[in-house]
Chains A and B, each alone.
Chain A
Amino acid sequence: MNSKVKLDDLNVHFGGTHAVKGVTIDFPANSVTAIIGPSGCGKSTVLRAINRMHDMTPGARVSGRILLDETDIYGRGVDPVAIRRRIGMVFQKPNPFPAMSIHDNVIAGYKLNGRMRRDEADEIVETSLQRVALWDEVKDRLKSNAMELSGGQQQRLCIARTIAVRPDVILMDEPASALDPISTLKIEELIEELKERYTIIIVTHNMQQAARVSDVTAFFYLGELIECDVTKKIFTTPDRKQTEDYITGRFG
């Protein structure tokens, strides 16, 4: 499998805390990689490092390399804004822009980059909403405020906003943990469809979700990558005892 994102000896420090310790891992292109592990294992920290979200955190230090198609995203002269356009992120809580319509939310990323023709904008809105299977539900009320949507719809809207700028990689931090089971299944179904076009890295606390949606699973513990393998192997016959204890609910 082609690797899209590659972490090479990634370390993240917050002040005196060594949160991510020498992680080296490949995220294959057009696949879903799930990152699992107990709270505090560094999984969200790793995810955030991939689109340079620690840049603004006081006391945060990132070392090692993160390659996006051979380009070190922490390299000299690399613009973090350009990186974030190629590496989108979806958060745990749906966060549509509250003062904007559904239409404007989808196109918000584009608007930041300057004006565009209305028909062009409409086309991006329609395509993006179709890709997240929201178009049929909202096409007659695109001017409505985004906050009128249900939680599950809001999350799909946020994913539409992320893919509207045509990223290569989508990072998802617990994207379904604030949603009801049906909305969760819709998001999972969507992830399955999105991987045809994008490389997806998802952090989840829900191990069954990792087992359902991912092709590859990485298990982190105390800031270290313990094991990374195809999902079937991780959930049936993992190599490391720590992994096995965690996925079977025996972690001490």
Chain B
Amino acid sequence: MEREHFSRQYDAELNIIREKLLEMGGKVEVMLVNAMKALVERDTALAERTIAFDHEVNTLEMEIDDKCLEVLARRQPAGRDLRFITLAFKIVTDLERIGDQCANIAKRARELNAEPPLKPYIDLPRMAHCAIGMVKEALDSFVRGDDELAVKVCKDDEFVDQLNEQIQRELLTFMIEDPSTISRAIKVNHISKCIERIADHATNVAEMVIFMVKGKDIRHTIA
């Protein structure tokens, strides 16, 4: 069982960081859902709102960094607290990058919505669904200190990578068959890459959770 610090204020400060990270995670989840919805349902207004929403994620990034810095300066954390703070510093960067990727998806959706549809989107939403699950589970594993769930996230990345490759192959055939699709296909390809990146960021978070819980660095070891 997790013991409390002698200093309740210290516990409170760590909790603020934990809660803000979760809030940030929640926001990037919403961004990804909405960016995909804007694409699939051709909702340009939603794409615009999603792009603007990135600002909130960026603000949280700065707030969390600031709080982490303060705890480092005032508390000189050690052991699991030190691992938590250094982890928070890194998670925040991954979450911010996820937010950027979602904004990128929304931007490409906005452009694609201005042209006739290339094809019905089937694999992209599947891929996004999996990536959202990974982001969610990575954060859950962080909150619960659940290293098994974190390992699952790392393994799920494989599936997203495979879908990304499949989509790229498919788009290539489109472009070869009909060069007039090239401009749109490149944009769809970009979205696929963005989702693949998001899954990579979720994997980074999961790997760091494993470090936080186990004190063992498993980065670059899971194929």
Q: Is the CB of A250 within 8 A of B3?
A: yes
A-B contact count (CB 8 A): 37
Q: Given that A236-B215, A237-B215 are contacting pairs, would A248 and B79 also be in contact in the complex, using a CB cutoff of 8 Å?
A: yes
A249 at the interface (CB under 8 A from B): yes
Q: How far in angstroms is the closest Cβ of chain B from A216?
A: 16
The interface residues of chain A lying within 8 Å CB-to-CB of B5 are: 248-250
Q: Is the CB of B80 within 8 A of A208?
A: no
A-side interface residues, number (CB < 8 Å): 16
A244 at the interface (CB under 8 A from B): yes
Q: How far in angstroms is the closest Cβ of chain B from A119?
A: 48
Contact of A236 among B4, B7, B82 (CB under 8 A): B82
Cα of A65 to Cα of B74 in the assembled complex, Å: 43
Q: Size band of the B side of the interface?
A: 10 to 19
Query: Mask for A211-252, Cβ within 8 A of B = 1, else 0?
Result: 100000000000000000000000111100001110111111
Cα of A110 to Cα of B22 in the assembled complex, Å: 66
Q: Is the CB of A247 within 8 A of B4?
A: no
- Seed contacts A243-B79, A248-B79; 17 additional CB < 8 Å A-B pairs: A235-B79, A235-B82, A236-B79, A236-B82, A236-B83, A237-B79, A237-B83, A237-B215, A247-B78, A247-B79, A248-B5, A248-B80, A248-B81, A249-B5, A249-B6, A250-B4, A252-B3
B221 at the interface (CB under 8 A from A): no
Q: How far in angstroms is the closest Cβ of chain A from B186?
A: 46
Cα of A174 to Cα of B80 in the assembled complex, Å: 26
Most buried by A among B4, B79, B82: B79
Cα of A243 to Cα of B10 in the assembled complex, Å: 19
B76 at the interface (CB under 8 A from A): yes
Give the interface SS of chain A, mostly helix, strand, loop or mixed. helix
The interface residues of chain A lying within 8 Å CB-to-CB of B3 are: 245, 250, 252
Q: Is the CB of A235 within 8 A of B83?
A: no
The interface residues of chain A lying within 8 Å CB-to-CB of B6 are: 249-251
Cα of A249 to Cα of B79 in the assembled complex, Å: 10
The interface residues of chain B lying within 8 Å CB-to-CB of A238 are: 79
Can you sample 21 A-B contacts with CB below 8 Å?
A208-B76, A235-B82, A236-B78, A236-B83, A236-B215, A237-B79, A237-B83, A237-B215, A238-B79, A243-B79, A248-B5, A248-B77, A248-B78, A249-B5, A249-B6, A249-B7, A249-B10, A250-B4, A250-B5, A250-B6, A251-B6
